[in-house]
Structure 1
Amino acid sequence: MSTTTLQVRKNQLAQTRWQSVEDAPLTEGQIRTEVELFALTANNITYAAMGDAMRYWDFYPSGDADWGVIPVWGFATVIESRHAEVPVGERLYGYWPTANRAVLQPARVNPLGFADAAPHRAELHAVYNQYIRTANDAFHRAGTESVQALLRPLFLTSWLIDDFLDDNAFFGATTLLLSSASSKTAYGTAFQLAQRKGVNIVGLTSDGNKAFCESLGCYSKVVGYGELDQIAADTPCVYLDFAGNGDLRRQIHERFTELRYSCAIGATHVESLRGAKGLPGPTPTMFFAPAQVKKRNQDWGAPELGRRMVESWQAFTVRTSDPAKPWMTVEHQSGQAALEAAYMQMLAGKSNPAVGQTFTLR
């Protein structure tokens, strides 16, 4: 057996290659999994764009300093085990490589799951090292794994952004500006924010995606990137930057004299990434979801945090999967060519926002 992995050049994300390596025998305590279904979203483009800064490349090292493996969210099944507590056939949800197989080293195993204790992941954030047993997962629903792979990690980030803003009284702002408004993380955030009172949710998007964003019904107003003058310059506002577009960020900072907080979240506009130095107003601050998880675990305890997230997740997926008017339809594809083509399209910002893409490499 061999493991085949998609790799991208770290300093030139449009360059890709496939690497196939014969599987080495497992050592005691390791498991080998077959990655059976994973999603590709703008979130994965962010992982690549921020690979060095946020250490996303470190989860699945390629063995070559110039090339990286983009992590993806999805499902895998244990096909070989040398760990007494994790049997062959166990199905897991978690953070995988863009590959057909992955080797993990389970530690702190409990009925809900385990952490990967591979030495190279010891200093990486614990949230990404957790693998969940689907049999005991409150989020899991049979038959909806594609939706879970696509939306679950994004929505949990959305939920935490909304919670972070509420926790900080929206920094005294009344208007929230969300760039890349058609992205799943942005509209998940808007879905949550729309349940708050006293805030105006403005989606910023390209002209081609305005109709889609308006159809969602979770934005108070949708504005094209070239239409910022529709919003009064003295509006007390917070900027939620899901795009990573440096030119747009500068326009926001220069136009809005009452910008209270600038939150950097994603990097869907890879071609426009710029530094944040020299901007007027508040310094852009990177949102790191695990930090808010840690805070709420301390505030509420993990069980209560989990309960709140599951409740919100169920409401969100009911809405996004509404047969009468779904926000997203799922397209599943198999094989290397399909994944590479979808990655290139997404990197270029040309994906259809109404379609969620999942993959299998076999």
Structure 2
Amino acid sequence: MNAALPTTTFQVRKAALSQTRWHTGAPIPLVPGQVRLGIQSFAFTANNITYAAFGDAMHYWQFFPTGDEAWGCIPVWGFATVTESLCEGLAVGEKFYGYYPMASELVMQPVRITPAGFFDGAVHRQALPVVYNQYMRCSTDSFYEAATEDVQSLLRPLFTTSFLIDDFLADNDFFGGGTTLLLSSASSKTAYGTAFQLAKRKGLEVIGLTSPGNQAFCESLGCYSRVLAYDALDSIAAGTPSIYVDFAGNAGLRRRIHERFGALRHDCAIGGTHVDELAAQGSTRTLPGPRPVLFFAPAQAKKRITDWGAKAFGLQLAQAWQDFIRQVTGTRPPWLVPQRHAGQAPLQAVYSEVLAGKGDPRTGHILLP
């Protein structure tokens, strides 16, 4: 990408996520120590809608500020290439995997540069979770394979969350006997990644909850003990010791689960794709049983890095990732089929589809800005 070209950014109104705009601005001139990366491709999934839905509460809007408090830039995971460098140790043409804006480019201030990559040392990112500030050099990244680049964009950040959810629940001894796990939005990538991990553990029943239209897809994955439509909750015994792992943020479903299962041990809130119901979640104080607790993956990652050491943590995650990817890509039909979209109009269409919770769960959207 020519550094003289304007920078384009896809922005959403924070208070009304269906309202979007494209912003075009002059490129930022580099100062010594900085690099410019041209963003090549990134994934867009329901996870990114969660970033927007919790943009204020979890500080996701702060990663790539727009300069206008009413408008935000949703973070995404993908690949970018250095197009201009005034930073020793980072050469033009090198490719990096990491956390990017929905934009054509990003200027960063690399620090802690190693053969593995670097961290963005920009002042406004210093107080934000370090896991989002790390950029991996593809030439040395043990996760990277050119042939599965799109799958990595789509699943790597989500599976990391899945790995940590499974580890968090086990680390807490499944909250004293929650041997049945109810996973909402079972067709979502983070949910079935979590189910894949949980299925390795003995003595657990992992029930996927989904819409009738996605039930056959979820059953085809083979990682759930059984799959139920949302209206079939009554087929589970009310006294079952259980844990609810919520990937959708559906306030009505949460209330039904709390009111039915008197032996509910824990309510683990993961996602918020039902953005029209977020306001209703403020009334969780009236729910019977345990209060919903928002799961924050970076906190569990930090704990395990402290417990195990960074190298051991990385090795365990990498092994789990390789097992997962073999299952996702090796099954016929594959669990996930990447689909590429180039340009502003297709990007807008994908955003609207994912925001509305529509689309084929077997399709993974890769956007080329």
TM-score tier after normalising by the smaller chain length: over 0.9
* 1:250 and 2:258 aligned: no
Please name the residue that 2:35 is paired with.
Answer: 31
Alpha-carbon offset, residue 323 of structure 1:
5.5
Measured in 1, the distance between the counterparts of 2:256 and 2:109 equals 47
Alpha-carbon offset, residue 202 of structure 1:
0.4
Please name the residue that 2:48 is paired with.
Answer: 44
Alpha-carbon offset, residue 112 of structure 1:
0.8
Aligned to 1:36, the other structure's residue is in SS state strand
Letter in 2 for 1:328: L
Alpha-carbon offset, residue 90 of structure 1:
1.2
* 1:117 and 2:125 aligned: no
Please name the residue that 2:343 is paired with.
Answer: 335
* 1:280 and 2:288 aligned: yes
Please name the residue that 1:346 is paired with.
Answer: 354
Matched-pair contact (CA < 8 Å) for 1:34–1:79: yes
Give the gaps of 5 or more residues in structure 2. none
Letter in 1 for 2:9: T
Aligned to 1:143, the other structure's residue is in SS state helix
**2:180 is matched with which residue: 160, 171, 175?**
175
* 1:3 and 2:11 aligned: no
Please name the residue that 1:318 is paired with.
Answer: 326
* 1:236 and 2:236 aligned: no
Alpha-carbon offset, residue 60 of structure 1:
0.2
Please name the residue that 2:230 is paired with.
Answer: 225
Aligned to 2:231, the other structure's residue is in SS state coil
**Aligned pairs for 1:134-153 within 5 A:** 134-153=138-157
Measured in 1, the distance between the counterparts of 2:289 and 2:108 equals 45
**1:262 is matched with which residue: 263, 267, 271?**
267
Alpha-carbon offset, residue 325 of structure 1:
2.4
**Aligned pairs for 1:77-156 within 5 A:** 77-156=81-160
Matched-pair contact (CA < 8 Å) for 1:180–1:268: no
Measured in 1, the distance between the counterparts of 2:129 and 2:331 equals 37
Letter in 1 for 2:303: K
CA deviation string 1:197-255 (max 9, x = no partner): 00000001111111111111111111111111011111100000000111111111111
Matched-pair contact (CA < 8 Å) for 2:28–2:107: no
What number of residue pairs does the alignment pair up? 361
Measured in 2, the distance between the counterparts of 1:266 and 1:304 equals 28
Please name the residue that 1:164 is paired with.
Answer: 168
Matched-pair contact (CA < 8 Å) for 1:161–1:289: yes
* 1:65 and 2:69 aligned: yes
Please name the residue that 1:195 is paired with.
Answer: 200
Measured in 1, the distance between the counterparts of 2:159 and 2:237 equals 30
Give the gaps of 5 or more residues in structure 1. none
Alpha-carbon offset, residue 283 of structure 1:
0.9
* 1:215 and 2:223 aligned: no
CA deviation string 1:62-86 (max 9, x = no partner): 1100000000000000000111121
Give TM-score, length-normalised by structure 2: 0.96
Measured in 2, the distance between the counterparts of 1:84 and 1:91 equals 16
Aligned to 1:135, the other structure's residue is in SS state coil
Please name the residue that 1:300 is paired with.
Answer: 308
Matched-pair contact (CA < 8 Å) for 1:93–1:131: yes
Alpha-carbon offset, residue 142 of structure 1:
1.6
Letter in 2 for 1:140: Y
Matched-pair contact (CA < 8 Å) for 2:61–2:72: yes
Alpha-carbon offset, residue 346 of structure 1:
0.6
Measured in 1, the distance between the counterparts of 2:226 and 2:28 equals 54
Letter in 1 for 2:253: L
Alpha-carbon offset, residue 324 of structure 1:
2.5
Matched-pair contact (CA < 8 Å) for 1:39–1:149: yes
Measured in 2, the distance between the counterparts of 1:58 and 1:99 equals 15
Measured in 1, the distance between the counterparts of 2:206 and 2:276 equals 26
